[in-house]
Amino acid sequence: MKKSFTLIELIIVIVVLGILSNMTFDILHKVYQNYVYAKEINKLNAELDSTIEIISAKLKNRIRNSVIVTKYPATFNDSDENKVDFKSISEVAEDDKNYLILEWIGKDYEAKNGMWSEKLHHIQTGWSGFVDLGYNSHTTNDNPKEFNITTPDSNFTIVSLIDRNITAAYGFNQDPFETNTTTLIFSGNDLGGAIVDDLNNSYGWYLNEDKNRSAKAVFAIMNYKEYSNGNTPVIDLNISAITENNNTTLFARYFITRSAYAIVPIENNETKNGRKIDDYNLTFVYNYQPWQGDWWNGTHGDSNTTLLATHVTEMRFKKDTDSPILRIYLCIQSPEVEINATDNLTVCKEKAIF
């Protein structure tokens, strides 16, 4: 006698198959979701690594005493200049999320690296960064803000040539010394020093009449004379303080600079499914001179910008007072992949920069 399934058995089989298919769907959905997450995390990690490496490379050439963090204003216009609130990076608490803009003055490393010299048969450094304080370095008698200094193993013709070619690429083809685009900065030992105690008046940050800030550490390069001491090239420089003051000190070390730099988060106004995406487009700003009253956002003078990263949710900077190491912390979110109704997939990383 041939047996057949009863109705109850058929119902049980159908229920079991339904449960199994539902479990299989959940497993496949989880597998696909994990694949999407893994793919997006790899993408975010690559973007985050690239962004941090670019910022790190730029910050390695910073004049350490000049690094500031600036409070993020509601809007950027002429009237905001007098409201600018900035501090030395070591003065801001790590959990303070108001100071989002990082600014610094950079060393002119292109000119420092120099170029090939047919006479010397090797690459000639543009500027050495050292002053021979024991030889012909003194204050001029007729002007208290002018100094004559001697810097060995330097060639300021090379500095002028390199910087003029760089600024010409930005549409500014003039002598970098005559226009004070390229200047000389005394910055102590570059690991702290006395200048950082007077940050408001050291580098001309947000220079304006209302706040009476000055640029005590910044000097115009008036003229120079080149000669040789044996096989060592030597430069005699005549420099003049951008802002006249009575307490300028000559240091044995100096830096040549051409620009200030800033990392600026610009608020993103994108929306998705009716929900505002709460993040920033991270922008790199360069080619501006605070000692001449330039402001990074282009309101005063010219500056150039380039986009570093999109959908940045968090940016924090930290530097301990007694350490030269600066730490940068960044978070980037995916605009497409959501992990719940209010949050998108986010990756964060931190890096220490000497």
| pLDDT tens by residue, 279-329 | 889 999 988 888 887 876 544 345 788 899 999 998 888 887 777 888 899
- Residue 2 counted as domain residue: no
CA distance 169 to 5: 85
- Residue 107 counted as domain residue: yes
- Residue 280 counted as domain residue: yes
CA within 13 Å, CB half, 334: 20
Question: Which three-class secondary structure state does DSSP give residue 193?
Answer: coil
Q: Is the pLDDT of residue 260 over 90?
A: yes
Question: Which three-class secondary structure state does DSSP give residue 189?
Answer: coil
Q: Higher pLDDT residue, 217 or 260? A: 260
Calculate mean pLDDT across residues 4-17. 73
Q: Report the share of the chain in percent with pLDDT over 90.
A: 25
- Residue 1 counted as domain residue: no
- Residue 284 counted as domain residue: yes
Q: What is the DSSP letter of 62?
A: B
Handedness of CA 268, 82, 194, 156 (dihedral sign): positive
Pairing of strands 271-272, 115-117: unpaired
CA distance 66 to 200: 10
Burial of residue 121 (number of CB atoms within 10 Å: 0-12, 13-18, 19+): exposed
Q: Are 179 and 170 in contact (CB under 8 A)?
A: no
- Residue 318 counted as domain residue: yes
Which of 172, 155, 137 is closest to 287 using CA atoms? Answer: 172
- Residue 264 counted as domain residue: yes
What global pTM score does this model have? Answer: 0.84
Structure tokens at 255: 């830096």
Give residue 193's domain range: 7-354
- Residue 275 counted as domain residue: yes
Domain count within the chain: 1
CA distance 256 to 106: 9
Question: Which three-class secondary structure state does DSSP give residue 218?
Answer: strand
Q: Which of 84-88, 118-122, 196-200 is predicted most confidently?
A: 84-88
> What pLDDT, in 10s, does the model give residues 62-109?
998 889 988 866 455 545 445 577 888 888 887 777 888 899 999 999
CA within 13 Å, CB half, 248: 27
Burial letters 230-240, b for 16+ CB under 10 A, else e: eeebbbbbbbb
